[in-house]
Structure 1
Amino acid sequence: MDVNGLPGFYAIASADPDRLAVIDVDGSRTTYGELLARVNQVSHGLRARGLVDGDVVAGVLPNGLDAVIMLMATGQIGLYYVPINWHLTEAEVSYILDDCDAKIVVTADGHVPGSETGTAGLAQGQPADAPGGRMAGAVMWYTSGTTGFPKGVQRRLSGAEPEALVPLYIWFLGEIVDLVPGEAVHLVTSPMYHSAPCAHTQFALHLGHTVVITPRFEPESILELVERHRVTNAMMVPTMFHRMLQLPAEVRARYDMSSLRQVVHTGAACPVAVKQGIMDWWGPVLYEYYGSTESTIAFSVKPRDWLDRPGTVGRPAPTFEARILDEAGTELPPGEPGMIYVKSSMGTFEYRKDPAKTAASMRGDWYAPGDIGFLDKDGFLFLCDRRTDLIVSGGVNIYPAEIEAALLEHPSVADVAVIGVPDEEWGHSVVALVQPVAGVTGDAELTAALLRHCEPRIARFKHPKVIEYRDALPRTPTGKLSRSKVRQEFLDAR
């Protein structure tokens, strides 16, 4: 039987149970058959706890087999799965759990009150055969907006069996990044609570690939894993490329990267020199796409097209249309920057419990990711800037308003502006410009106090890398902070 032609993980696991599915962070190996058995047991376990179609399950899990099991188990019984960043503070996790109405929470160590510790408890005593009434679930990722409060990006459940959606995935991936079903090895380099690494893990299993999971990104470790497992495809962000290029030449030369066929990158703009440097090293294997949690993959570019047009993030992906509009909604000609709008025939999204926010992000059927760019005469998109206020550091979205709110809780802070400034390694780093209250001196002692103040309020990756002090910050007569002016003044001073 040609298992490569079967539609997706569940069918492949039944037809070829001895195929290697996952190599976990500790080196342990799980076959497709073993993975499917555990997935089915967890699906039964979730049903046994009373969950029905449309209910929500959350996972606060590090990279590893349990994260994969939860993804595939919820994906066949009509549940929404919410992966949550386990670096978040207790308050941040609680907000998401309350907002998504999670019926069950699975964690690695039971640190969330009332949570399941791993998947073993859900699987215990449950049958390993397929559950009845199978229906495709969906992942609901939480993403913040300008208010800094995370919102769930929710898509309507199809009502179809999981296998019904797989041919569309396979066709789409083949069109944009040349990934095909068969014998291949996918390397997970990023936390699976982010949308792209999570989605690519699921895609890899539907394609019949072996998934190699890393606990965290370490430049030389990634090279060693590529060589050891003959990795053929991976998903990365530009920060990783920058850090690998910084390795000494003798270290880079030590590893054989010739197995790589597709290295997909997204999450932040990639400097032309960095991308060119990786392709000089690995060959023309870098595939890029641009989009968002809301729009999914809206633009894509293959290596040869990028080499012909360095800096582009590609043309509209299949099923997508794109427009560049000015502030009045007038379509702009090629070469003229404006707000990017996209539309897809594959369906839309909504922000959970926030129809006003959903409506505000749309212009009719067109969604605005909030970025500025222009199309060339051949329809290739070039980005000019990310969202005005959004900070993208190491491929992770960081929202200034959330950090400002935390700092403003400190009694010594009268006003604050948080901005992202260019950083050679991370893309952008977080800078806080603080106006102390009258009588308080902005010094090293206050800086240390403010960072301690942030500890229980916001995750460490959101903490300012730099805190500087100002006598006053520019605000409009209505009280709105002009971050663009703050940012420009900061950069000019540097």
Structure 2
Amino acid sequence: MPILRQWAERHPDKTAALVAFSDQAITYGELDRRANAVTQLLIWMGLAAGDGIAIMLDNDPTYFELIWGARRHGIYYTPVSTHLKPEEAAYIVRDSGAKLFFVAARFADAVQALLADNPHRCTVYALGGALDGSFDYAAELARFDRLIEIPDGPVGKDFFYSSGTTGRPKGIKQPLFANLRQAQASGDWVRDNFGFAEDTVYLSPAPLYHGAPLRFTMRTLESGGTAVIMRKFVPEQALATIEHYRITHSQWVPTMFFRLLALPDEIRARYDLSSHRCAIHAAAPCPLELKERMIDWWGPIVWEYYAGSERNGATCISTADWLTHRGSVGRACVGTIHILDEAQNELGPGEIGDVYFDGPQFVYHNDPEKTARSRTAKGWSTIGDVGYLDEDGYLHLTDRRSHMIISGGVNIYPAEIENHLALHPDVADVAVFGIPNAEYGEEVKAVVQLREPSKASSALAADLMAFCRDDLSHVKCPRSIDFEAELPRQENGKLFKHVLKQRYLQPA
């Protein structure tokens, strides 16, 4: 019996998912019935296992009925960012080959961009209002008002697209789960390490179109818990949500930690966080001091994990282990880690190289060359990160290979410089990258977002460069520093360095 049906029969009136401080909520009984109706709609529309749908919604419990319905019929589901331009959203829907597009009515421009060039004849279902060229989702779903039994078969899976930091975003696709047991087992590492269970009340403050928020809310539902989602991350409201809903588990990115810690002490002390027993963070590097301050505030409940949308492997680390292996992202909990040099020879402890896993396989959709570049002859795969294993097998990430600066033949990893500059009391955020240098090929450039933008000056830039020289090798220190009011980050904490770097690409 499918796991959702089991929970629906065990506690049909228990809230499965809700939007914090709103009237949007769905019980397990309702979710099972509506997901079953979605499956019937997919069958009626002629979709077969291996076909795909796309979803462009705000944070809404409807996400979950669509996904559970797709999973039950072996359908790939592609979340589309609500912040994309209409043409960008339409590109992802077309490139994914989605046969159905479920979209909130407020994204009418994306629908029109899709319909203007729609060779795949993708059918559009609008939620929350009528759109030209679309069907009304609520009316269509209402036609399937009784439960039916769905034959067992392959189980659907997410089909995410990369952030598109260079060129068009790429789809990341894995084989479907062969059966329900395999699908359920894929979440064992989350349940085993973070303690997801029937009593879990999980807070997701980030958009569901990102990989981690969607996957972890689904793990919550697979475990019989309750997923609490925020429409948008607001620091004090996040604390109020933990108190009000007695949140047990949550997930964050470092920029959220920074904004939480920026709250006045009296506001941070105002809320009862005693129910909170597991705060998970990932998606972007977390400066050591920032994490230490969160541990000081929340206690030894802070967990970190490392994984990519490719899902080729994962690591995780508890507070206790992090304090004895500072800066590590943990030991492997999915797959085995291999650190390889450029000739793909395996390196020993402490030696920096490319991070590979021998875990689950994936492909970059419509890009066999990129897929091939991510593989070794043994089939191990990388998502482009660089790092090393310590003597105890804990992984330490150095940076992305694509971010590496080569200056005078020396390899420089920006993350180390960024983490150091982040310790300066005037710095709110920082990006470090290479820019052209006639003599050395590249030189180190830093762009800084200040806590108080009015402080920006050549004198402060000089102070920050001196701050680096106190503790970093001179080759790693920025040759110049510029200031920006705000750095271009996504809600998941990832920094669009290419947006900044483009300004400096003219030869010196």
TM-score by length of structure 1 reads 0.76
**Aligned counterpart, 1:17:** 12
Q: 2:376 aligns with which of 343, 363, 367?
A: 363
How much does 1:228 deviate? 0.3
What is the distance in 1 between the residues matched to 2:171 and 2:329? 26
Aligned to 1:196: 212
Shift of 1:193: 0.6
Say whether residues 1:137 and 2:137 are aligned partners: no
Q: What is the match of residue 40 of structure 2?
A: 44
1:472–1:152: structure 2 CA closer, same or farther, 3 Å change rule? closer
Q: SS at the partner of 2:144?
A: coil
Q: What are the Cα deviations for residues 282-339 of structure 1, in whole angstroms up to 9, with x where unaligned?
A: 1111111112111355211112111221211001114x11111121222222112111
Corresponding residue number in structure 2 for 1:439: none
Aligned-pair CA distance for 1:372: 1.4
- In the other structure, the counterpart of 2:251 is 235
Identity of aligned residues (%): 35
Matches within 5 A, 1:143-222: 143=162, 147-160=166-179, 162=180, 164-166=182-184, 168-179=185-196, 181-222=197-238
Pair 1:283-2:283 in alignment: no
User: Which residue type is aligned with residue 379 of structure 1?
Assistant: G
Runs of 4+ in structure 1 deviating by more than 4 angstroms, as ranges, are 144-147, 390-393, 417-425, 461-471
In the TM superposition, what is the alpha-carbon distance from 1:62 to its structure 2 partner? 1.0
Mapped partners of 1:47, 1:368: distance in 2: 36
Q: Which moved more, 1:243-252 or 1:101-110?
A: 101-110
Q: Which amino acid aligns with 1:97?
A: V
- Conserved in 2, the CA contact under 8 Å of 1:38 and 1:128? no
| Letter matched to residue 132 of structure 1 | I
- Is 1:68 aligned to 2:64, yes or no? yes
Measured in 1, the distance between the counterparts of 2:178 and 2:396 equals 37
Q: Is the 8 A contact 1:341 1:368 kept in 2?
A: yes
1:28 aligns with 2:24: yes
Matches of 2:224 and 2:503, distance apart in 1: 54
- Equivalent pair of 1:288/1:314 in contact (CA under 8 Å): yes
Q: Does 1:350 align with 2:369?
A: no
Decide whether the 8 Å contact of 1:18 with 1:32 is kept in 2: yes
Q: Quickly say closer, same or farther: Cα 1:357–1:53, change in 2 above 3 A.
A: same
TM-superposition CA deviations, 1:240-270 (whole Å, max 9, x none): 0111001000000001111111111110111
Specify the code of the residue in structure 2 equivalent to 1:24: V
Q: Is the 8 Å Cα contact of residues 312 and 361 (structure 2) preserved in structure 1? A: no
Q: What does residue 325 of structure 1 align with? A: 340
Q: 1:266 to 1:256 in 2, by over 3 A?
A: same
- For residues 27 and 420 of structure 1, the distance between their equivalents in structure 2, rounded to whole angstroms, comes to 45
Decide whether the 8 Å contact of 2:25 with 2:61 is kept in 1.
no
SS of 1:373 mapped into structure 2: strand
| 2:77–2:158 Cα contact (<8 Å) kept | yes
> How many angstroms does 1:106 deviate by?
0.6
Contact 2:7-2:224 at 8 Å conserved across structures: yes
Could you say which residue in structure 1 is the equivalent of 2:392?
Answer: 378
Mapped contact 1:299–1:315 kept (Cα < 8 A) = yes
Q: CA distance change for structure 1 residues 462 and 468 in 2, over 3 Å: closer, same or farther? A: closer
For residue 507 of structure 2, the aligned residue among 460, 463, 473 is 473
Match of 2:355 in 1: 340
C-alpha distance in 1, partners of 2:498/2:51? 37
Aligned partner letter, 1:117: A
Aligned position for 1:87: 83
Q: 2:491 — aligned with what?
A: none
In 1, Cα distance between equivalents of 2:182 and 2:49: 17
- Superposition RMSD in Å: 3.0
For residues 300 and 469 of structure 1, the distance between their equivalents in structure 2, rounded to whole angstroms, comes to 37
Distance of aligned partners of 1:288 and 1:40 in 2 relative to their CA distance in 1, 3 Å threshold: same
| Structure 1 contact 58–83 (Cα < 8 Å) conserved | yes
Contact map agreement 2:236 2:260 (CA 8 A) in 1: yes
Say which SS state the counterpart of residue 362 (structure 1) adopts.
coil
For residues 25 and 211 of structure 2, the distance between their equivalents in structure 1, rounded to whole angstroms, comes to 24
Secondary structure, counterpart of 1:292 in structure 2: coil
Aligned residue for 1:384, secondary structure, equals strand
Q: Is the 8 A contact 1:389 1:419 kept in 2?
A: no
Following superposition, the deviation at residue 121 of structure 1 comes to 3.7
Opposite residue 361 of structure 1, the aligned amino acid is S
**Larger RCO (alpha carbons 8 Å, 6+ apart):** 1
1:117 equivalenced with 2:130 (yes/no) = no
Q: Tell me, which stretches of 5 or more residues in structure 2 are unaligned?
A: 113-122, 128-136, 405-413, 419-430, 434-442, 452-483, 489-494
Write the letter of the residue equivalent to 1:473: P
TM-score by length of 2: 0.74
AA of the residue aligned to 2:222 = H
Shift of 1:467: 8.8
- Give 1:227 deviation, angstroms: 0.3
1:421 shift after superposition: 4.6
How big is the shift at 1:159?
3.3
* Residues 51 and 268 (structure 1), Cα distance of their counterparts in 2 relative to 1, 3 Å cut: same
Q: 2:92 is matched with which residue?
A: 96
Q: What's the CA shift string for 1:115-155, capped at 9, x where partnerless?
A: 21124244121034144224310110011567522121111
Aligned equivalents of 2:450, 2:10: Cα separation in 1: 48
**What amino acid is aligned across from residue 258 of structure 1 in structure 2?**
S
Shift in CA distance, 17/360, structure 1 to aligned 2, threshold 3 Å: same
Q: Deviations over 1:410-444 (max 9, x none)?
A: xxxxxxx998856588xxxxxxxxxxxxxxxxxxx
Match for 1:385: what amino acid? D
Amino acid at match of 1:342: F
Q: CA deviation at 1:348?
A: 0.7
Question: How many angstroms does 1:204 deviate by?
Answer: 0.4
Shift of the 64–146 alpha-carbon distance from structure 1 to 2, 3 Å rule, reads closer
Query: Structure 2 CA distance, aligned partners of 1:297 and 1:236?
Result: 20
